[in-house]
């Protein structure tokens, strides 16, 4: 009887210590526009290195992520600990509203200065580019569009697809940059050439790869990933400039898990983390000491479709509304 009691006591102690170990695992919530299949792999790599942290993910397009944050602010508290989306100007809005935690990451010195907020409220964690994609069965490299203006050619009437700027932050940046360069008449010309609009960049790339459209406007890493899986798709960095988007990550100031959030941010910016996003997502890294994805240009080689930050912040919503009115509603 005494032996049975001892065994029972040991079992109870093991159970209690087991529960204690489970309780010690800290939960961290990130809101992100990084595709879930890539984000899940990043989560696995991070948790392998930090088994005491359980990273939870809410993933949607930048537009839905920002709408959720706005609703939570209205309700009294942002539920995310970290935010990682495509629209870099959005982080300036968050900073201006005093919603971001200032943190000087030990990795900051290894990043290009352009990727570090001067107040250390956010950091670029990946570089993504809006580019022109084409179906390699339907379009030869020689005849594929080389510039954004080429998409207006009658040759591509009804044969081009792109994502919705209301959903995709990257598309919102692109259309603002295009309007800045070519004027709002560019939207009217896209409409006249019967461009198709789908939800987001992954869908646009999938439509091109499937042959539903000859040409698409999408993100470079999506094309590289699809091509690596055998899809008949390739990309062109436009000669008049790709929309180069440093996609930032920042910590929410009201987070109850600041230390864990700093740990994740440091991981993403570290050599290990940057190698992971290159290998798992084919993103262009923000560290010069991490090799590029296969087939990706260096940042020095990229011609940029430039849009000043102040212009982007002041006009992106206006141009999104105009794009919807001109291209999508008529």
Mean pLDDT over 186-215 rounds to 98
Q: Give, in degrees to the nearest 5, the angle at Cα 267 between 263 and 268.
A: 120
Count CB atoms within 10 A of the CB of residue 67: 13
Contact call for residues 115 and 246 (beta carbons, < 8 A): yes
Contact call for residues 226 and 233 (beta carbons, < 8 A): yes
Question: Quick one: tokens of 11?
Answer: 């079992």
Count CB atoms within 10 A of the CB of residue 29: 18
Mean pLDDT over 80-85 rounds to 98
Q: What is the pTM of this model?
A: 0.89
Rg (CA), the chain: 22
Mean pLDDT over 299-311 rounds to 94
Query: Which regions of 220-279 does DSSP assign to beta strands (E)?
Result: 233-236, 243-251
Question: Quick one: tokens of 149?
Answer: 């203006």
Q: Which residues are 293's β-sheet partners?
A: none
Give the model's pLDDT for residue 55: 98
Q: What is the pLDDT of residues 142-165, one digit of tens each?
A: 999 999 999 999 999 999 999 999
- With cut-offs at 50, 70 and 90, classify the pLDDT of residue 330: low
Antiparallel, parallel or unpaired: β 243-251 and 82-84: antiparallel
What residue ranges define each of the domains in the chain, with the CATH number in brackets?
A: 2-126+247-281 (3.40.190.10), 127-244+302-328 (3.40.190.10)
Give the model's pLDDT for residue 21: 46
Give the position of tokens 């081009």: 160
Antiparallel, parallel or unpaired: β 82-84 and 160-163: unpaired
Contacts of residue 55, Cβ cutoff 8 Å, sequence gap at least 6: 28, 30, 43, 46, 47, 264
Residue closest to 125 by CA, chosen among 1, 5, 281, 16:
281
Give the model's pLDDT for residue 12: 44
Mean pLDDT over 32-46 rounds to 93
Count CB atoms within 10 A of the CB of residue 153: 12
Query: Biggest alpha carbon distance in the chain?
Result: 90
Question: Quick one: tokens of 237?
Answer: 């960095």
Is 152 in a helix, a strand, or coil? helix
Give the model's pLDDT for residue 24: 79
Give the model's pLDDT for residue 25: 87
């Amino acid at each position: 009887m005494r032996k049975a009691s001892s065994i029972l006591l040991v079992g109870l102690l093991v159970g209690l210590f087991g529960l204690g170990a489970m309780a010690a695992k800290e939960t961290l919530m990130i809101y992100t526009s990084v595709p879930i299949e890539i984000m899940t792999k990043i989560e696995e790599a991070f948790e392998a290195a930090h088994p005491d942290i359980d990273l939870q993910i809410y993933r949607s397009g930048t537009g839905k992520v920002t709408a959720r944050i706005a609703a939570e602010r209205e309700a009294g508290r942002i539920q995310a600990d970290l935010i990682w989306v495509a629209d870099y100007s959005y982080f300036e809005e968050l900073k201006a509203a005093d919603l971001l935690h200032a943190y000087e990451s030990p990795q900051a010195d290894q990043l290009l200065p352009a990727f570090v907020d001067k107040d250390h409220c956010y950091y670029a964690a990946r570089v993504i580019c809006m580019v022109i994609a084409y179906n390699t069965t339907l379009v030869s490299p020689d005849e594929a569009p080389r510039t954004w203006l080429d998409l207006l050619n009658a040759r591509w009437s009804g044969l081009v697809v792109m994502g919705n700027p209301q959903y995709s932050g990257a598309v919102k940046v692109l259309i603002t940059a295009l309007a800045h360069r070519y004027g709002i008449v560019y939207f009217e010309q896209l409409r006249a050439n019967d461009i198709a609009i789908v939800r987001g960049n992954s869908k646009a790339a999938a439509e091109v790869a499937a042959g539903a459209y000859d040409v698409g406007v999408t993100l470079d890493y999506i094309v590289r990933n699809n091509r690596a899986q055998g899809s008949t798709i390739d990309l062109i960095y436009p000669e008049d400039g790709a929309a180069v988007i440093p996609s930032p990550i920042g910590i929410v100031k009201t987070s109850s898990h600041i230390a864990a959030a700093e740990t994740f941010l440091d991981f993403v910016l570290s050599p290990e983390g940057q190698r992971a996003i290159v290998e798992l997502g084919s993103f262009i890294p923000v560290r010069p000491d991490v090799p590029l994805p296969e087939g990706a240009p260096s940042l020095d080689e990229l011609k940029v479709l430039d849009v000043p930050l102040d212009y982007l912040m002041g006009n992106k919503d206006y141009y999104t509304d105009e794009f919807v009115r001109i291209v999508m509603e008529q």
